[in-house]
């Protein structure tokens, strides 16, 4: 028998990307941030990442704070 029995390493989640911060003054972001906090407090991990995705995807037009990294 010459079958390679390489064991695939288990998928490592590793370092999660930093959570997006809500944009100051954006009501939607603030609401999502609050929802994310509540989800985390409830141990609802998927709810937390849902909010992260939504915050990240929320458009805000040109940013003034960080001109060096066009998102």
Residues 23, 29: contact at Cβ < 8 Å? Answer: yes
Cβ distance to Zn ion smaller for residue 8 or 66: 66
Residue of the chain from 28, 35, 44, 54 that contacts Zn ion (CB under 5 A): 28
Residue of the chain from 19, 26, 35, 44 that contacts Zn ion (CB under 5 A): 26
Distance in angstroms (rounded) separating the CA atoms of residues 23 and 56: 10
Q: Choose the binding region for Zn ion from 4-12, 13-21, 40-48, 57-65 (rule: CB under 5 A).
A: 57-65
The count of chain residues that interact with Zn ion, using the rule CB under 5 A, is 5
Residues 9, 39: contact at Cβ < 8 Å? Answer: no
Secondary structure letter of residue 26 according to DSSP: -
């Amino acid at each position: 028998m010459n079958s390679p029995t390489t064991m695939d390493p288990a998928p490592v989640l590793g370092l999660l990307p930093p959570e997006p911060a809500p944009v100051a003054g954006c009501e939607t972001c603030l609401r999502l941030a609050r929802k994310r906090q509540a989800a985390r407090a409830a141990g609802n991990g998927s709810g937390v990442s849902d909010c992260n995705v939504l915050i990240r995807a929320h458009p805000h037009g040109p940013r003034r704070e960080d001109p060096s990294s066009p998102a």
